[in-house]
């Protein structure tokens, strides 16, 4: 006779928090975004002589795609898995297109 225990469905969605309530994936993407932003700021200030006020907008636009790999989930898929499916769908040569009957 086997003993069965019901496990809640949301137990699969548990992610271990490492620091500041972030998972390791979120922490790594945050560190990558910070590194890229520091490099961009150094490049634009020293090479092009721009002010930090105008560079901050570039930093935000560059950081959003990087940070989305850590935080964004679409249809229970990570952003990376969703992008793979999306790119495969749009690059498939056998995809059926709607044709008008004339």
Residue 29 has pLDDT above 90, yes or no: yes
Domain-located, residue 4: no
Number of domains in the chain: 1
Give the range of the structural domain holding residue 86, as residue numbers without chain letter. 21-91
**Separation CA 23–CA 7 (nearest Å):** 23
Domain-located, residue 41: yes
Which of 3-17, 33-47, 64-78, 82-96 has maximum average pLDDT? 33-47
Quote the tokens at residue 85: 């499916």
Residue 41 has pLDDT above 90, yes or no: yes
Domain-located, residue 6: no
Domain-located, residue 1: no
Partners of 77 in beta bridges? 74
Domain-located, residue 11: no
């Amino acid at each position: 006779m086997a003993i069965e225990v019901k496990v809640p469905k949301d137990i699969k969605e548990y992610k271990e928090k490492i620091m500041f309530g972030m998972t390791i994936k979120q922490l790594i993407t945050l560190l990558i975004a910070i590194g890229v932003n520091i490099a961009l700021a150094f490049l634009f200030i020293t090479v092009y002589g721009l002010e930090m006020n105008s560079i901050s907008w570039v930093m935000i636009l560059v950081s959003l795609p990087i940070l989305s790999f850590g935080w964004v989930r679409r249809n229970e898929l990570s952003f990376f898995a969703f992008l793979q499916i999306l790119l495969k769908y749009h690059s498939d040569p056998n995809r059926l297109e709607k044709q008008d009957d004339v």
